[in-house]
Structure 1
């Protein structure tokens, strides 16, 4: 239901500078803009990932996401360097058997969550949730001056038992989205008067037998 993988040599290639240029997430309800985001999709066939060239829309049902469900959201594509890096990450997930090899529809969100002394950052404003895919891989790229950001995971069959983990840079948490739901606690600055931010990639995997 949950696996952790730590990248080693591969993590040296993470394109940290690309997070500095993400566009503001215009779909937040809060007055304080704490999330910056890019999103791309692709098809993974016989372990070869082909990214779609057009900007991709993202839609979740209200049942899955009571915060922004039934809203078609549009984001700019991942930067080219991020796409190349995600290819490496997916290959590592397969090589380590963290995710079973298959053909998948892939989605990748590149996200920066920020916080200041004036407002918190909310990685999951919708609360505990599923994302509606077969597998979710949450990969931490960078933590800067962050308090909080505790990943909480619970089984759909036993919601009283919580797994807690602070996802560190280079680590990937893989969830079977059909069996668990997850949440990440808000972030606040560890040192006052200094901005806090958390940079992550969220990769979604949906099994696909045939691509038309």
Structure 2
């Protein structure tokens, strides 16, 4: 894996100049150094996610797990941190103010997956383009949003928002029978910077969360007889 290849340089430049970057799958794969078999193994972890009871209480069918890693800027090393509840910073998610959300931890197999570790190393390099922190905290959220004929899937039920971090990223892992799911990025004055639908697995959307807002429109089944899935890996980085 070469974290200084042209794709990484271009992504860092876009983040610095435009506060966002949309990286196509070919560029990401060149950075991560994976192949189809490794990617398929990585994507299979989404079948082991568990119910997000907080989303269910608000009528959204969402599966997820959660974990944290450290990232050392000088060496690129990542290390899994002890599992703790997920708490978002103040003034970010209005749905869960002062709520410690308890999610099931990442499985051991997922936490050790070489594709995940490579993705974290690449994202850590991106974060370093925005801040010169020596150590970073990476919060890792694998999500599966499910929609049916009777209920839309809500990737961001809180609407347009910030996560209260430095770097926010959304990596499409898979879509099945889904329409919708448009990702939008705005600046803090409300001007739209990007609107795109992540359709091809391996597409990566990155943003400087300090100066942007983001949201994703609902998904619906193309064929109403079967569920729609949208599998995404959301990773955020903040200085430790």
Q: TM-score, normalised by structure 2?
A: 0.79
From 94, 112, 119, the equivalent of 1:89 is: 119
Instruction: Tell whether 2:48 aligns with 1:18.
Output: no
Match of 2:79 in 1: 50
Distance in 2 between residues matched to 1:162 and 1:3, nearest whole Å: 10
Equivalent residues of 1:55, 1:75 under 8 A apart: no
RMSD: 1.9
Distance in 2 between residues matched to 1:128 and 1:199, nearest whole Å: 19
Task: Summarize the Cα distance change of 1:203–1:36 in structure 2 as closer, same or farther, 3 Å threshold.
Answer: same
After superposition, residues 116-195 of structure 1 pair within 5 angstroms as: 116-156=148-188, 158-167=189-198, 168-195=200-227
Distance in 2 between residues matched to 1:17 and 1:70, nearest whole Å: 33
Equivalent residues of 2:60, 2:154 under 8 A apart: no
SS of the equivalent of 1:175 reads strand
Unaligned 5+ residue runs, structure 1?
none
Distance in 2 between residues matched to 1:48 and 1:202, nearest whole Å: 19
Deviates more, 1:196-205 or 1:19-28: 19-28
SS of the equivalent of 2:119 reads helix
Equivalent residues of 2:154, 2:219 under 8 A apart: yes
Match of 1:205 in 2: 237
Instruction: Name whichever structure is richer in helix by fraction.
Output: 2
Unaligned 5+ residue runs, structure 2?
1-18
Distance in 1 between residues matched to 2:181 and 2:110, nearest whole Å: 23
1:25-63, Cα deviation, whole Å (9 max, x unpaired): 0112646441011000021123111102x3221112452
